[in-house]
């Protein structure tokens, strides 16, 4: 019996991932020097394919890190002198807030309960805030922030930097990068790749802010501060020996997605999300956790299971389906279903049929 993972990340590998891993081994990609010309070519193609796929303008830089959590740290170190402002709607946006405090900055936040959205018009962001941090899709709660709300924040605060966590939604949301300053993600979610690589996308304003902090003697980190990341990125290299296989696979899967068609991926994501939410809207025992349809994530569906999640998860496991449980305190009360590009419509149909049959 073959297994399918609907976990929220790491998740099911992208259909072509295994083939690319096999080819990488065959071609000795894992033995390649990170200072070789061949590595530089892989690096350049990863950057170009990600830019093409996500519509990232040429004036943005792409940096490879260890994880999306590292991206949070590096953004705070390089873009914040003292004050960051955080929209907290779950555990990952909370982590971004915590990291700022840990790094000795003075983060402020507006916080809503798990599953709820923000009233953007009622939120006053202090003048002193230098950076606004948002989590586009909260993996812990299954909520998402509409991109237009983010753009309108930027319009109201053009002098502030805006960083968007797109970890659990990428490559689904179509983003106008001219209206944000930084975004970041990891590869074990929508890209369906082995974990261990973070991708940070920043514009010139972020780099400029980092230079300003450095000039004023504020530590922006070390080997992964923006100036050092940029110095190596310009050579299609990294300062440290990176996850070479991860960068190679990123290049390949982004290429496959380009070929498949990003619009098709986006349309299918919405179709699958609609089926999932419709199913649970009409289910007697379970229902979507997020009540406001406008902020329901298209890629992470959180479902309330009043009868407990454990039995559902175990029964489906026997059918070859691995689901996510609820996050931390919600572990026993919810299930979480990822809807990533790797999940075909027929996979979702299979999943829902098996849940129906429980």
| Interaction site with its own copies (CB under 8 A) | 3, 5, 7, 9-13, 17-18, 21-22, 25, 28, 30-34, 65-70, 72-73, 76, 95, 98-99, 102-104, 186, 188, 193-197, 217, 219, 221-225, 239-246, 322, 324
Q: How far is the CB of 151 from its own copies (least distance, A)?
A: 29
Q: Cβ 98 to its own copies, closest distance in Å?
A: 7
d(CA 74, CA 185): 13
Q: What is the 3 state secondary structure string of the chain? A: CCCEECCCCCCCCCCCHHHHHHHHHHCCHHHCCCCCHHHHHHHHHHHHHHHHHHCCCCCCEEEEECCHHHHHHHHHHHHCCCEEEEEECCHHHHHHHHHHHHCCCEEEEEECCCCCCCCHHHCCCCCCCCEEEEECEECCCCEECCHHHHHHHHHHCCCCEEEEECCCCCCCCCCCHHHCCEEEEECCCCCCCCCCCEEEEECHHHHHHHHHHHHCCCCCCCCCCHHHHHHHHCCCCCCCCCCHHHHHHHHHHHHHHHHHCHHHHHHHHHHHHHHHHHHHHCCCCCEECCCCHHHECCCEEEEECCCCCHHHHHHHHHCCEECEECCHHHCCCEEEEECCCCCCHHHHHHHHHHHHCC
> Would you state the structure tokens that stand for residue 301, as one six-digit string?
């569906």
Q: Based on CB atoms, which residue is closest to its own copies, 178 or 219?
A: 219
Residue 237 Cβ, how far from its own copies at the closest point, in Å? 13
Return the number of the residue (56 or 68) whose C-beta is nearest its own copies. 68
Pick the closer one to its own copies by CB: 187 or 286.
187
Q: Toward its own copies, which CB reaches closer, 270 or 314?
A: 314
Minimum distance between the CB of residue 278 and its own copies, rounded to whole angstroms?
Answer: 26
Indicate the length of the chain as a whole number. 358
Query: Judged by CB, which is closer to its own copies: 77, or 203?
Result: 77
Q: Which is nearer to its own copies, 66 or 117 (CB)?
A: 66
Smallest gap, in angstroms, from Cβ of residue 131 to its own copies?
15
| Cβ-based neighbour number of residue 73 at 10 Å | 19
State the nearest-atom distance from the C-beta of 22 to its own copies, in Å.
Answer: 8
CB of 122 to its own copies, least distance (A): 30
- Give me the least distance between CB of 26 and its own copies, in Å please: 9
- Residue number, 112 or 336, with CB nearest to its own copies: 336
Cβ distance to its own copies smaller for residue 70 or 262: 70
């Amino acid at each position: 019996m073959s297994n399918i993972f609907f976990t929220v990340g790491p998740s099911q590998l992208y259909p072509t991932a295994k083939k690319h891993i096999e080819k990488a081994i065959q071609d000795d990609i894992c033995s390649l020097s990170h200072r070789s010309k061949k590595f530089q070519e892989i690096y350049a193609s990863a950057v170009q394919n990600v830019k093409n796929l996500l519509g990232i303008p040429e004036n943005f830089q792409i940096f490879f890190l260890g994880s999306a959590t590292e991206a949070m740290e590096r953004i705070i170190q390089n873009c914040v002198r003292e004050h960051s402002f955080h929209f907290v709607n779950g555990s990952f946006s909370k982590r971004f807030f915590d990291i700022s405090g840990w790094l000795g900055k003075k983060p402020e936040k507006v916080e809503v309960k798990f599953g709820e959205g923000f009233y953007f018009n009622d939120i006053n962001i202090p003048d002193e805030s230098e950076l606004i941090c948002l989590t586009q899709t909260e993996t812990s709660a299954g909520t998402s922030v509409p991109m237009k709300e983010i753009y309108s924040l930027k319009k109201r605060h053009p002098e502030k930097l805006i960083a968007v966590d797109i970890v659990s939604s990428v490559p689904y949301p179509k983003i106008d990068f001219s209206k944000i300053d930084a975004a970041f993600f990891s590869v074990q979610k929508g890209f369906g790749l082995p974990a261990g690589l973070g991708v940070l996308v920043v514009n010139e304003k972020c780099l400029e802010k980092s230079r300003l902090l450095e000039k004023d003697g504020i530590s922006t980190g070390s080997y992964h501060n923006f100036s050092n990341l940029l110095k190596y990125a310009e050579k299609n290299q990294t300062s440290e020996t990176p996850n070479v296989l991860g960068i190679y696979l990123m290049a390949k899967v982004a290429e496959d997605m380009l070929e498949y068609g990003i619009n098709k991926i986006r349309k299918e994501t919405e179709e699958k999300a609609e089926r999932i939410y419709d199913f649970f809207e009409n289910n007697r025992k379970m229902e979507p956790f997020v009540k406001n349809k406008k902020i329901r994530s298209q890629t992470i569906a959180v479902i309330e299971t009043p009868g407990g999640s454990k039995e559902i998860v175990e029964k489906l496991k026997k059918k070859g389906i691995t689901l996510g449980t609820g996050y931390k305190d919600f572990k026993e009360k919810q299930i979480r279903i990822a809807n990533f590009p790797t999940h075909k419509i027929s996979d979702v149909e299979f999943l829902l049929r098996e849940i129906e049959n429980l």
